[in-house]
Amino acid sequence: MTSVTLPRRDANTDRPRWVHPVEPARLPDRAKVEAALTAVRAWRPYDGDAWLDDVADALDTVPPPEDLVDELAQRLRGYLMQLVGYAATSEVEKRDGRATRLIARAREVREEELPGDYLKSVLHLRRMGWAVNELHDLLTELDAVKGPDSLKEGGAP
């Protein structure tokens, strides 16, 4: 069997070269694309049951063990970020005045650093837990998110 050498595609100079349909100046900045991809990769699906479990851990009369405080605080911060995002996209502030106050409080408590002292950290966890709980309840009431019980019935967030 003999092999045949095929001519290279770019050997024919009579045909015009392919040009990208979007001008280079209009292409998105690589840093913005990377930031968007990072945000998509960090996204976690809505899980009302997990939220309620963590809120219960934060608000329980028995404080969480000291070695779990940081992890619980990170999860509560993530829930606050998600809830504020849901509130923004569903525009609940236009429908209910309580949303403005709860969103502001959620943002405030999320931005606060976790204190180094264990007892102060537990108090901070409780503030975050209440912020998650109250904002989640309002968003459920306004049908911006579904409550955990409705998800068991086959509903979607």
At residue 110, the pLDDT reads: 94
Query: Is 40 part of any domain?
Result: no
Residue 35 is assigned to a structural domain of this protein: no
Tell me the average pLDDT across 110-124.
94
Q: Write down the pLDDT at residue 10.
A: 59
Instruction: Measure the CA–CA gap between 106 and 139, rounded to whole angstroms.
Output: 13
Residue 21 lies in a domain: no
The residue among 109 and 44 whose pLDDT is bigger is 109
Q: What is the pLDDT of residues 11-43, one digit of tens each?
A: 556 666 777 676 766 667 778 878 887 877 877
Considering the domain boundaries, does residue 138 fall inside one? yes
| Residue 27 belongs to some domain of the structure | no
**Is residue 129 classed exposed, middle or buried when 0-12, 13-18 and 19+ CB atoms within 10 A define those classes?**
buried
* Domain assignment of residue 23, yes or no: no
> Band of the pLDDT at 7, cuts 50, 70, 90?
low
Of the candidates 74, 44, 81, which has an alpha carbon nearest to the alpha carbon of residue 57? 74
> Side-chain half-sphere of 83: how many Cα atoms within 13 Å?
34
Q: What pLDDT score was predicted for residue 39?
A: 78
pLDDT band at residue 9 using 50, 70 and 90 as cut-offs: low
Q: Is residue 78 part of a domain?
A: yes
- 0.85 exceeded by pTM: no
Which two structure tokens, joined as six digits, stand for 31? 């840093």
Write the CB contacts of 68 (distance below 8 Å, at least 6 apart in sequence).
none
How many structural domains is the chain composed of?
1
Residue range(s) defining the domain that contains residue 82: 47-144
